[in-house]
Chain A
């Protein structure tokens, strides 16, 4: 078992979940409708909990304690895709990101449920139900807004256009694609991306939206290697502010 390969996989998943969970939690108190505010915040908690489970596996493999790992690293040591660190914008962007990210996440965990790496397979099986709801929530909103008023349709299409290349960046290949495939740990980013595309297209169509023209596709890469927008450093400092005040405090 190639531990370095597994750690690379775990880090990018955990960082994605931690950062998108944090971004989604920034909607708490500001959501458009009370029930939706509660639902979105609750899902953000779920995401951070899932990140926690992955950080725990990393800790078992010799990495730092989960809290330290999550809150002490600066942006250049984070492996999230740039997509998840972008500011929330308005609800249109946040919902579209929720839709694009959660579908990919659900499929990734589905693929990992059969992984030969037991701890990860177990986490994947456990959170299946959570992801089912997250995706159902995203599908419902995207389809409703895409079929709503002129304004909601236009906003959703713009959000899709702006998100697209960042979303493709979620599938940036790691250094150990072959090792993970050969060891039956993970089938790979390319496979995941194809399945993601197949899954989201029916909903995009139901929402009367269009995926950007293939000629304009240009995945925004770098996040997995620690290259981020300025937004991430601001985020990690704010997110880690309380923890960093006293990293050795007992909570």
Chain B
């Protein structure tokens, strides 16, 4: 019997070897990726997974797993099997990207130009 200081667990008299519900290999439902949105109009952010047998229950679980703290207005759930991902073996396609700083937006000093314009045209 599992001995616990918590009376709610102790009185259940659970066997150590758990003959009631033995775990079997791969004894899980399929996973769903959960995305939540903090404010309407924001991007949904990936927050984790839930195991669920279907879409409805994935939403039900996702709301509590990831929406019970903080701020949320919306939850998406997507079956992990529906996520089409690139291969880690192909990670080399990204290799030279850090060298291409001309692609960074930081090169275009737009705010400087805007502020200069505003200063010159103050009083108009």
Partner of B57, one of A34, A43, A140: A140
B7 at the interface (CB under 8 A from A): yes
A247 at the interface (CB under 8 A from B): no
B61 touches A42 (CB 8 A): no
A39 at the interface (CB under 8 A from B): yes
Given A137-B60, A140-B60, A238-B7; A35-B12 close (CB under 8 Å)? no
8 A Cβ contacts from A17-68 to B: 26, 28-30, 33-36, 38-39, 42-43
A144 at the interface (CB under 8 A from B): yes
Given A26-B8, A29-B9, A30-B12; A36-B61 close (CB under 8 Å)? yes
A-chain residues with CB within 8 Å of residue B57 when the two chains form the complex:
140, 144
Cα(A33)–Cα(B58), bound, Å: 13
A-chain residues with CB within 8 Å of residue B65 when the two chains form the complex:
35, 38-39
B64 at the interface (CB under 8 A from A): yes
Given A136-B60, A137-B60, A140-B56; A35-B9 close (CB under 8 Å)? no
A35 touches B51 (CB 8 A): yes
A-chain residues with CB within 8 Å of residue B60 when the two chains form the complex:
39, 136-137, 140
B interface bracket (residues with beta carbon within 8 Å of A):
10 to 19
Cα(A140)–Cα(B52), bound, Å: 13
8 A Cβ contacts from A202-249 to B: 238
Cα(A133)–Cα(B9), bound, Å: 28
B7 touches A42 (CB 8 A): no
Cα(A225)–Cα(B111), bound, Å: 72
A-chain residues with CB within 8 Å of residue B9 when the two chains form the complex:
29-30
* Distance between B107 CB and nearest chain A CB, rounded to angstroms: 46
Cα(A238)–Cα(B7), bound, Å: 9
B68 at the interface (CB under 8 A from A): yes
8 A Cβ contacts from A119-158 to B: 133, 136-137, 140, 144
Residue of A nearest to B63 (CB): A133
A33 touches B8 (CB 8 A): no
B-chain residues with CB within 8 Å of residue A140 when the two chains form the complex:
56-57, 60
- Would you give the 0/1 interface string for A1-29, flagging 1 where the beta carbon is closer than 8 Å to chain B? 00000000000000000000000001011
B-chain residues with CB within 8 Å of residue A28 when the two chains form the complex:
8
Residue of A nearest to B49 (CB): A35
Cα(A43)–Cα(B64), bound, Å: 9
Partner of A35, one of B6, B7, B8, B52: B52
B50 touches A42 (CB 8 A): no
A-chain residues with CB within 8 Å of residue B56 when the two chains form the complex:
140
A-chain residues with CB within 8 Å of residue B8 when the two chains form the complex:
26, 28-30
- Would you give the 0/1 interface string for A153-194, flagging 1 where the beta carbon is closer than 8 Å to chain B? 000000000000000000000000000000000000000000
Q: Could you show 16 A-B contacts with beta carbons less than 8 Å apart?
A: A26-B8, A28-B8, A29-B8, A30-B8, A30-B12, A33-B51, A35-B50, A35-B51, A36-B61, A38-B68, A39-B60, A39-B61, A39-B63, A39-B64, A136-B60, A137-B60
B interface, CB within 8 angstroms of A: 6-9, 12, 50-52, 56-57, 60-61, 63-65, 68
